[in-house]
Structure 1
């Protein structure tokens, strides 16, 4: 069976180009949560191609980036050569890490971690009162998409697939919030939301589709037929552009 986590490792350059970064305000808020720590040591889980890493480094942090994919790990080493970062090529569950971090950050990666161990693992790696920060990218229902996502479902169905169901509004409460709320390992979590809509040309949207794990796991012929029909639909009905209504959420809590 294909490990879907490794599908992101197949084309780091395309992933890095088409996947959105994160709102600058999020990292300003995160920096305030860290307090007065100078050059905090941060463990970033599932660093991918560094979509959040750049912002963490810009905070003056010393970053340990844990990345399961060999190609992504090599990409990160090239991208951040000379910066204050160590790349650990391993899964979060198996990585040998020194611990004592001021923060652990998972940016659109928490759902890939083992739910039975991820909170315990994160708490064990944090210094006293260290911060766990879970960032999620949430697609939401909104008129800014001009009806594209509802209208495109028939195309997915013709190809034996479906897209993820958008959240019902912008007041998103991600599953990570209740997960952290229930554990005695962390104090009361904070939840912050950031509107972060992204608009794509047809070609960029097609490449975005190719970056998704579910799409990568499809057979090439079926995937490309679906993506081609979506592109024709975008050109014919939406003027060659698609807007994804997104809300980025930050769930943050201190180690108890």
Structure 2
């Protein structure tokens, strides 16, 4: 299942999709997976201080993990419904796109974006993050790669093409190789280098597994950009096809996740 949005239009311009996840913010919060503890510990443990900005914080899945790791977290998200769900967990959230958000002179020890940086204008995002970081502050951009087994991915792709032939996702292959996602994160590193305001970016990778029942996977699938803009009848038909495929596997399966990160520390001075 793709976790990076289609290239046409550029993801940061696809605002309808970007702001569709709040349709059922509660389901999103319950179904979406958390991030590897090792990733959170590595970011929080290497921070020069506790103040962290979470860009595109959604319902606060990552933000809560960083708070538990000792960080003082402020979230920014363009969807008021997602922000309200995060506030229900006791998080501070301001509603705006990152590009339009006004920091009012505030700076941070760490800026993160979990599963959301592709919604930020690449021409503006990295430079703004550098402006917000204190000396030795880190920018960490990360997300999951979760492509289900072919026995599930193929029926999903067939059902989506049949049910929603005008969807921007129908021309994507049923499963995409990890190398495609790794290339996307390498591209983010190039964006950071282009600002000349960060030290050499690092690429991190975390591999892990999680079992899913039929119900658990369908709940997660319903929160993805593939389905959030479909009519209820279209979404139901796709979910039925995927549910049948999971039933054929015995009612569940093990998902092999890879969480990728591109991260860099702010340079003391712009390089000449």
TM-score (norm 1): 0.86
Q: Once the two structures are superposed, what CA deviation does each residue of 1:74-131 show, in whole Å capped at 9, x if it has no partner?
A: 1111112xxxx42111111122213321111001110011122101111111112211
Runs of 4+ more than 4 Å apart: none
* Aligned CA distance change for structure 1 residues 74 and 87 (closer, same or farther; 3 Å): same
* Structure 1 residues without counterparts, runs of 5 or longer: none
Which whole-Å CA distance do the structure 2 matches of 1:224 and 1:196 have between them?
A: 29
1:147 Cα offset (Å): 4.2
Mapped contact 1:138–1:166 kept (Cα < 8 A): no
Rounded Cα–Cα distance in structure 2 between residues aligned with 1:163 and 1:2: 23
Q: What's 1:166 paired with?
A: 176
| Structure 2: segments with no counterpart, 5+ residues | 1-13, 268-272
Contact 1:148 1:242 in 2 (8 A): no
Of 210, 222, 225, the match for 2:222 = 210
Q: Which residue of 2 aligns with 1:114?
A: 121
Q: Is the 8 A contact 2:138 2:265 kept in 1?
A: yes
Pairs within 5 Å for 1:152-163: 152-159=156-163, 160=165, 161=170
Q: How many angstroms does 1:198 deviate by?
A: 2.8
Alpha-carbon shift at residue 44 of structure 1 (Å): 0.6
Distance between the aligned counterparts of 1:137 and 1:164, measured in 2?
17
- Distance, in Å, in 1 between the alignment partners of 2:41 and 2:181 is 21
Indicate the RMSD between aligned Cα atoms, in angstroms: 2.4
The answer to whether the 8 Å contact 1:189/1:254 transfers is: yes
Q: How far apart are residue 71 of structure 1 and its match?
A: 1.3
Question: 2:244 aligned with 1:254, yes or no?
Answer: no
Distance 1:70 1:190 in 2: 33
Match of 1:93 in 2: 99
Query: Per the alignment, do residues 170 and 67 of structure 1 end up closer, same or farther by CA in structure 2, a change over 3 Å counting?
Result: closer
Q: CA deviation at 1:211?
A: 0.2
Judging changes above 3 Å, is the alpha-carbon distance between structure 1 residues 32 and 164 closer, same or farther for their aligned structure 2 residues?
farther
TM-score normalised per structure 2: 0.81
Whether contact under 8 Å (1:100, 1:125) holds in the other structure is yes
